[in-house]
Amino acid sequence: MAESKRCKDLDKTSEPEQNIKLTEYFRRLLKREINFRLTKEELCDIICSVDFVVETLVATISSKVGWLQFSRVVKVGSMAEGTSVGRPNEFDYLAVLKIEAGSVQVERTCAKRRGYAHVKIADPNLKTIWGKWMNGQYLTSDFTRGQSDFLSGYFDSLGNAFKDEIYHAMNNAHSNLVYRTKIGKIEPESSLNLDIKRHGPAFTPKFVWKSKNSDEKITIEVDITLAIEVELTPDIISETDTFDPLFFRKVKEHGKVMLISCRDNASCDAKLCMCLVFTEIEVELVRNMGQHHKECYKLLKYIFNDGRGYTFLPSYVLKTLVLKHNCHCEEEENLAVCFKTLVASCLHYLFNRKTEEKIEPSRFARALMLGKRFSLNIPSIFFKEHNILYSKNYKFPCEQFLQEIEIMLESIEKISYREEDNDDDESLDIVTSIFTGVEAYLSTFPFFRKEKELTFIKCYECYGNYFNENIL
């Protein structure tokens, strides 16, 4: 913890030198660990291959299922934005339903939740073919608890039906979902024991890319989300709703809005909430950012949300914060300055978290964990009143969560204090350790708890001079 004190007492005149060191480290990290290490030709082949199998899969469903007709497939997510880290192993798509104009009507919002809407079916034909997934005149959304799909069929919906059709198409059209290029081929992961996982509102079939140039295989998870696209109307969103006028201009230029299933709509008694999303606009906004801020976003994802046992903040939250930051920041070179500013924004939300009772009927295991569960309120860039983490239920007690972040930030600060660069040590301590999370969790038990209070506040003080409340 001496490093935190050193940071706190550091004279500001030495700060530029520290930032230079940290920026140089970040650039090496981007080159060696974060950016793709594939040839441009192979990366293009992988992208084209995934596009082909997804479009084939959706077209197969559309040709055989009368009540699931699709107009197009939209590429979204980090691969479309150019911000994926490590390997090209996660792709995201929206399968947009083909619906005639006026067939569905969108109420401005759910009375209880900003950023959500109820979808009223006006077309008699849709009422007939979607009748089993409707509640009165409205289309029901998904309703499942937590991360489990246990009993999800009981709360049947059009989304769950779509998942079944993906399963059947993957099983019955296996040979059609193989695509070969000069460099390699892609095919479904397995035709045996096929399991279509659920990831939020998306369903995730897996494919495998096999390169001819090496023995390496890349398992690729493809998130496919069912989406309804409708014309934008003034009562859906206004300029005052958005974080910055830039976002509203983009929405207005696009002229449409997507609705997707809401994974947790428990606060809506009728289970009718559909999420209002502007995913295509987000892709455009991120792609239009300068390379500097894209690299900041990649660094945040790699260090704080890389699937190594930690859940700092979901990548969508990090993207939201970077997009807000990009509205007012003119920095183009110094990665350390922007990185610290963004971390300070994250800390602001963490210190303003809401703690609640830890025990939930749907998660009995929580009863075995000390500490209280917590939720964070982070506004959307499109709806300031909409919390993008409204349904987020963190699996860890607050104490463990804070300790993990403290260790991560301290390991980053150590880079700034190195008197000499060590090219042989190119990894953050927290990134390379797979045991820190366990240690932090054990330390929350009274038997293991240290006498002194958590020192996480020292890390906050390290980054405090970069924090500007106006940017949130």
Q: What is the pLDDT of residues 186-241, one digit of tens each?
A: 999 876 667 788 877 889 999 999 998 877 899 999 999 999 999 988 888 889 99
Of residues 4 and 237, more confidence is placed in 237
Radius of gyration of the chain (CA): 23
227 three-class SS: strand
- pLDDT of residue 424 exceeding 60: no
Average pLDDT, the chain: 79
pLDDT of residue 419: 56
Q: Note the pLDDT of residue 470.
A: 46
The one-letter amino acid code at 381 reads I
Selection from 384, 304, 294 nearest residue 346 by Cα:
304
Q: Using an 8 Å Cβ cutoff, are 371 and 444 in contact? A: yes
* Single-letter amino acid, residue 87: R
Give me the mean pLDDT over the 90-117 stretch.
Answer: 85
Q: Give the DSSP letter string of 229-240.
A: EEE--TTT--GG
Alpha-carbon distance 205 to 189, whole Å?
8
Cα–Cα distance measured from residue 153 to residue 10, given in angstroms and rounded to the nearest whole number: 58
Q: What contacts 293, CB < 8 A, 6 or more positions away?
A: 322, 325, 326, 329, 338
What's the pLDDT tens digit per position in 143-193? 544 344 454 444 468 888 898 899 999 988 888 999 999 999 999 987 666
Contact status, residue 238 vs residue 251, Cβ threshold 8 Å = no
d(CA 162, CA 23): 46
pLDDT band at 396 (very low <50, low <70, confident <90, very high): low
Name all domains of the chain by residue range, CATH numbers in brackets: 2-34+290-471 (no CATH), 40-283 (3.30.460.90)
Structure pTM?
0.85
- The structure tokens listed for 281 are 């606009």
Q: Name which of 42-51, 88-97, 131-140, 243-252 the model is least confident about.
A: 131-140
| 167-to-53, 94, 143, 203 alpha-carbon distances in Å | 14, 17, 20, 10
State the average pLDDT over residues 262-289.
81
Mean pLDDT in residue range 328-340: 91
Buried b (16+ CB within 10 A) or exposed e, 182-191: ebbebbbbee
In sequence order, what are the beta bridge partners of 105?
120
Q: What is the dihedral of CA 412, 81, 317, 7, to 10 degrees?
A: 20
Closest-CA residue to 28 (of 404, 430, 302) = 302
- Mean pLDDT across 276-290: 95
pLDDT score, position 154: 46
Q: How confident is the model at residue 411 (pLDDT cuts 50, 70, 90)?
A: confident
Give the dihedral sign, CA 254/260/263/266.
positive
Torsion of CA 413, 414, 417, 422, to 10 degrees: -130
Q: Are strands 179-180 and 274-277 parallel, antiparallel or unpaired?
A: unpaired
Residue 45 scores a pLDDT above 90? yes
13 Cβ contact list (under 8 Å, min separation 6): none
- Say if residues 54 and 2 touch (Cβ distance below 8 Å): no
Most confident of 131-145, 196-210, 296-310: 196-210
**Which DSSP letter does residue 32 get?**
I
Decide if 80 contacts 90 (C-beta within 8 A).
Answer: no
Most trustworthy range by pLDDT among 112-116, 147-151, 450-454: 112-116
Show Cβ contacts of residue 145 under 8 Å, excluding neighbours closer than 6 positions.
264, 266, 362
